[in-house]
Amino acid sequence: MKLTRILIVSFLVVIPSACSSPTANTSTDATPNEVTLLAYDAFTPQEGIFDAFTAATGAKVKVVTGGDSGVLVSKAILTAGNPEGDVLWGLDNTLLSRAQKAELLTSYEPVDYGDICVNYDKQWFTSRNIAPPTSLEDLANSTYKNLLVTQDPVASSPGLGFLLGTIAHFGADNWQGYWKSLKVNGVRIASDWTTAYTIDFSGSSGKGKYPLVVSYGSSPPAEVLYAEKPIETPPTAVIASTCFRQTEYVGALRGARNPNNAKLLISYLLAVPFQESMPLSLFVFPTNQKASLPDLFTKFAVAPKNPLTLDPADIEENRDAWLSSWRDLIL
Amino acid sequence: MAEFMERPHLVTRTKTLFIAPVAFLSVFFVAPVANSILRYFHFSEFSNVLGNQSLRGVAWFSLWQAVTSTLLTLVVALPATWALSRYTFRGARLVRGVLTAPFVLPAVVVAAGVLAITDSRGVFPILWAHVVFNVSVILRIVGPRWSMVNLRLEHAAATLGARPSRTFSLVVWPQISDAVISAATLVFIYCFTSFGVIAILGGVSRRTLESEIFTQAVRLGNTETATALAVLQAIIICTVIFIARQSSRPNSTFLHVSAPQPLRTKPRHRNTPLLISATAVVIVASPLLATIYRSLVVNNQFSFSAWRTILSGSLPALSVSPQLVIITSLVFAIIAACICVPLALLVASSAAPRALFSLPLAVSAATLGIGLIITFNTSPFAWRSERWFIPVIHAVIALPLVIRALEPATRAIPTSLRNASATLGASPFATWVRVELPLLRPALLRATGLSMAVSLGEFGATSFLSRSGSTTLPIAIAQLLGRPGVATQQAGFALAALMVLVTVGVMSRA
């Protein structure tokens, strides 16, 4: 009986408020002085970082998120010309060409970068007196048999980055041989980053069986910042020679309702205050040379001078063929 | 007299009421899906898909793992359903709550729990996770009907010398079979379209049609291939639903059910129901306990810090506070239930054909998501980024399940009761309020609980919709588990554990 009563009361309370919200929303939509930033779910900027923008321009920033970068870009392409917002955050070099083909953006700029690198569990290697691997070649060495977990490159962006890194390093004709030897050496393919890092990897919360994991060059500082109890140094480290560069872009969407505010917001995202807030809120490096890095980043994050890279057009042209030949090799 | 006899059931008489669920589903489901299919479906791509060897393998795996999962779920769930709808014992409500809780959990949480115990991957953990997820479906749909099977019939059969097995097959089964078939169909569909569990527990070589649709649409940008696969999947599911409906028809006219039977406290074999319930709880609850464990223990040390964070702190890995996430999810669940349960009741009590209302089960979340964002994109229907849109879509997704949860109960109400009430001068409305609603009350409560559970746990379509600040629990858990840092991940497990506890709490009452 109690539950029935609660349900009736909530019915009476919730329905009117739910019905009133659309009208409230449409009225803000009609306000010209607003700008909508579309981003992936993991876009968690520093709190209050847009206050300065609103104070300077009078425009309110509405952050709209939905899905990971793949979902975000697919949605943006399906709605190209009639976008859900004004500015798109979250295109990276593996997705850029797809967006260009769909004429998604009127302009775009690199806004941040980071690397996809193999991370290792420091304690696992020291306690066994084994030197951690230092190169991609090492990972196929029998000393490191059954130690590496990576992600499905079809479903996961770090997985794709690692595959592209091996293609950049070994060349378009030889990477298949490398992957064959990785397979022989017991590489584990997890479905996504979360499974690999929080379940299989031994160096983080899951205490899994694999001391080597494909993750980011900025994962070690995140381990310090979000440690359960304060720690001085991260339990994990990065193998710099395995790093594949991932650059993220911010762009103005074609057909945006507030194109002028979009331009203003993009300049704001590229200016020093926002760029300096990114390392500890988004765990990426600023593209603006004038932005300085926090201590935690200079000490523990890795972004090699000469990372592995591939041309976005090259990626777009070959991605499907690479992925299907990877699938044939591994599955 | 004739006048009274002809006075029909309220809902059938006022056919206008049936327009509400039809209109709701047409606007928020049929239109967007049709739009998506019209735009992206090509026959040439469809025949390509049918001719593709590896995709045929994917379809075959989807099918056999779903059939096996469904059978195993029935084996675990039916005895437990019998125990819980016939007997009451200390802790029976808790058992019911525990068995329902996994239904709301994100796949990654259940999979992590199963993995923590099996420590291996492959088909067995997949089947186990599917059983964990789906025991609740059988319990919630078959339970209300089983508790309405008149005990006197069973006693009569026993008195006439029938053994328990014979009593079951001749007396009980005919009266519950349509509910069992309906629930089993649902379980089959959920397993057939499962993909989070399979991706995590099966590894990359195990794929289902649903995961392939998502990969093609989102990862590879091949919307045409994805749509062709989605149509193939819908055809298979609709066929299964059709066959199931056909086979469950004949029994419904011979029902002798009555008001929920009093639960017995002293069964002859006292321990059997207890033992059966305990087995089901062990199978289902161990992944839940693993979740709670990971929210409390880190580096072999016990700590409440993750719980403190989600209940009163803030998390930089979320753009909103965890408390707001909890409130948002609960409000969405209540709104979805307020929309879904009344509409489902209208459908379940009407005699009109309801095949339309099974359709949301057949359509992949990616297809619906794509349809929604390309349909509700122009004023005055530019709803795709509206906050209220999310619970409305949750209601669409919950509708088939909730209708099935109500149907066994509504179908079981004998026409003679209504006629008697009418003969005594009650208006159709009075009959509905004073005769039918009290009989339906347990089923309605369970349906409300199920609707809330669907809304709380919904991930696929929600993650496709754009949101401004309205992060729901499964999305927040995915975000937290998607970041490095022990504290962040522990907070993710704490949110999942909170979902478990809240669901156990709600479900053991409803």
Instruction: Quick: pLDDT tens for A202-231.
Output: 998 878 899 999 999 999 999 998 888 888
Strand-pair partners of B264:
B87
The residue behind tokens 């008149």 is B150
| Res B2: pLDDT | 40
Q: What is the mean pLDDT of chain B?
A: 84
Residue B267 belongs to some domain of the structure: no
Question: Which chain B residue shows the shortest CA-CA distance from A68?
Answer: B463
CA dist B322 → A55, A222, B316, B488 (Å): 28, 19, 10, 12
- For residue A226, list chain B residues with Cβ-Cβ distance below 8 A: 316-317, 483-488
Sorted by sequence, the CB contacts under 8 Å of residue B279 that are 6+ apart come out as B76, B79, B80
Q: Which residues of A fall within a CB distance of 8 Å from B115?
A: 199
Confidence of residue A28 (pLDDT cuts 50, 70, 90): very low
Residue A59: left (phi > 0), alpha (psi -120 to 50), or beta? beta
Q: Looking at the complex, does the CB of residue A74 fall below 8 Å from at least one CB of chain B?
A: yes
Task: Report the sign of the C-alpha dihedral through residues B480, B481, B483, B485, in that order.
Answer: positive
Q: Domain spanning A115-245+304-330: which CATH class is it, in words?
A: alpha beta
- Nearest CB neighbour to A331, from listed B200, B205, B385: B205
CB contact under 8 A, A191 and B204: yes
Question: In this predicted structure, what is the pLDDT of residue B11?
Answer: 45
Per-residue pLDDT for B30 more than 90? yes
* Minimal Cβ distance to B387: which of A25, A78, A228: A25
User: Is the pLDDT at B104 greater than 90, yes or no?
Assistant: no
Backbone angles phi, psi at A311, to 5 degrees: -70, 130
Domain that holds residue B295: 2-253+277-507
Phi, psi dihedrals of residue A114, rounded to the nearest 5°: -165, 180
Chain mean position to CA A225: 18
| Gap between the Cα atoms of A200 and A215, Å rounded | 12
Q: Which residues of A32-60 are buried (b: 16+ CB within 10 A; e: fewer)?
A: eebbbbbbbbbbbbeeebbeebeeebebe
What pLDDT score was predicted for residue A17? Answer: 42
- The answer as to whether B459 is a domain residue is yes
Out of A243-252, A314-323, B61-70, pick the least confident. A314-323
Chain A residues near residue B317 by CB distance under 8 angstroms = 42, 44, 226
pLDDT tens digits, B421-439: 888 888 888 888 888 888 8
**A119 and A240 in contact (C-beta within 8 Å)?**
no
Q: Is B445 on the interface with A (CB under 8 A)?
A: yes
Q: Where is average pLDDT lowest: A238-247, B112-121, B306-315, B480-489?
A: B112-121
Q: Which of A3, A44, A199 sits opposite B317 (nearest CB)?
A: A44
Give domain status of residue B266, yes or no.
no
What part of A 34-73 touches B (C-beta under 8 Å)? 38, 41-45, 62-67, 70-71
pLDDT at A26: 38
Residue B262 lies in a domain: no
Closest residue in B to A192 (Cα–Cα): B200
Instruction: Tell me which DSSP letter residue B22 carries.
Output: H
pLDDT band at B34 (very low <50, low <70, confident <90, very high): very high
Among B411, B446, B331, B409, which residue's Cα sits nearest to residue B100? Answer: B446
Confirm whether B310 is domain-assigned.
yes
**Is A193 part of the contact surface with chain B (CB cutoff 8 Å)?**
yes
Identify which of B370, B479, B482 has the shortest CB distance to residue A78.
Answer: B370
Q: Which pLDDT tens digit goes with each residue over B289-299?
A: 888 888 898 77
Q: Which CATH class, in words, describes the domain spanning A31-114+247-300?
A: alpha beta
Q: Which residues contact A290 (CB under 8 A, 6 or more apart)?
A: A272, A275
Is residue A150's pLDDT more than 90?
yes
Q: Is residue B410 part of a domain?
A: yes
3-state secondary structure of B88: coil
Of the ranges A250-259, B364-373, B423-432, the best mean pLDDT one: A250-259
Provide the pLDDT for residue A14. Answer: 43
Domain with CATH 3.40.190.10 in chain A: 31-114+247-300, 115-245+304-330
Across A176-180, B75-79, B87-91, B178-182, least confident range: B87-91
Q: Which residues of A touch B391 (CB under 8 A)?
A: 18
Rg (CA), chain A: 22
* Residue B347 forms part of a structural domain: yes
- pLDDT attached to residue A269: 97
| B420 close to A (CB below 8 A) | no
Q: Name the helix (H) or strand (E) containing A215.
A: strand A212-216
Confidence of residue B100 (pLDDT cuts 50, 70, 90): confident
Q: Which amino acid is at B61?
A: F
Chain B closest-CA separation from residue A317 CA (Å): 12
Report the DSSP beta bridge partners of residue A253. Answer: A105
Report d(CA A8, CA B3) in Å as an integer: 35
Q: Does A219 touch chain B (CB under 8 A)?
A: yes
CA A318 to chain centroid, in Å, comes to 22
Q: Which residues of B touch A62 (CB under 8 A)?
A: 468
Average pLDDT score over chain A: 88
DSSP state of A210: B
CA distance B249 to chain A (A): 32
Per-residue tokens: B277 = 């319930």
**CB-CB under 8 Å, A70 with B484:** no
Expressed in angstroms, the distance from the first to the final Cα of chain A is: 55
Interatomic CA distance for residues A295 and A21, integer angstroms: 44
pLDDT of residue B318: 83
Q: Does A331 touch chain B (CB under 8 A)?
A: yes
Across the interface, whether the CB atoms of B200 and A15 are under 8 A apart is answered no
Question: What pLDDT is attached to residue B259?
Answer: 62
On chain A, the residues whose CB falls within 8 A of the CB of B384 are 84
DSSP string, B99-162: HHGGGGS-HHHHHHHHHHHH---SHHHHHHHHHHHHHHHHHHHHHHHHTTB-HHHHHHHHHTT-
**B332 C-beta neighbours (distance < 10 Å), count:** 28
Greater model confidence, A300 or A29: A300
Overall number of domains in chain B: 1
Mean pLDDT of B285-307: 86
| Contact by Cβ (8 Å): B298, B486 | yes
Whether A233 and A86 have beta carbons less than 8 Å apart is answered as: no
The tens digit of pLDDT for each residue in B52-67 reads: 888 888 899 999 999 9
Using CB atoms, which residue from A3, A19, A82 is nearest to B510? A3
Which CATH number is B435's domain given? 1.10.3720.10
In a domain, B272, yes or no: no
The CA-based dihedral angle spanning residues B311, A226, B456, A76, taken in that order and rounded to the nearest 10 degrees? 140
Does A193 sit within 8 Å of B391, measured CB to CB? no
Least confident of A96-110, B177-191, B464-478: B464-478
What local confidence, expressed as pLDDT, does residue A155 receive? 82
Q: Which of A289, A256, A264, A294 is nearest to A277 (CA)?
A: A294
- The yes-or-no verdict on residue A72 having pLDDT over 70 is yes
Does the distance separating the beta carbons of A63 and B319 come in below 8 Å?
yes
Would you call B324 an interface residue with chain A, using a CB distance cutoff of 8 Å? no
B505, B98 Cβ separation under 8 angstroms: no
3-state secondary structure of B221: coil
Optimal mutation site among A191, A214, A280, interface B, most CBs of chain B within 10 A:
A191
**Element holding B217 (H helix, E strand):** none
Q: Cα–Cα distance between B39 and B279 in angstroms, integer? A: 50
Query: Residues 338 to 397 of B: which have CB under 8 A from any A CB?
Result: 338, 370, 373-374, 377-378, 382-388, 391
Cross-strand partners of A237: A120
Provide the CA B195 distance to its chain's centre, in angstroms: 16
> Residue B343 belongs to what H/E stretch?
helix B322-349
pLDDT for position B250: 52
Percent of chain A with pLDDT over 90: 65
B-chain residues near A191 (CB < 8 A): 199-200, 203-204
CA distance A305 to chain B (A): 24
Nearest by CB to B486, which of A15, A71, A204?
Answer: A204
Whether A150 has its CB under 8 Å from any CB of chain B: the answer is: no
A52 closest CA partner among A327, A272, A324, A297:
A272
Report the distance separating Cα B292 and Cα A299, nearest Å: 35
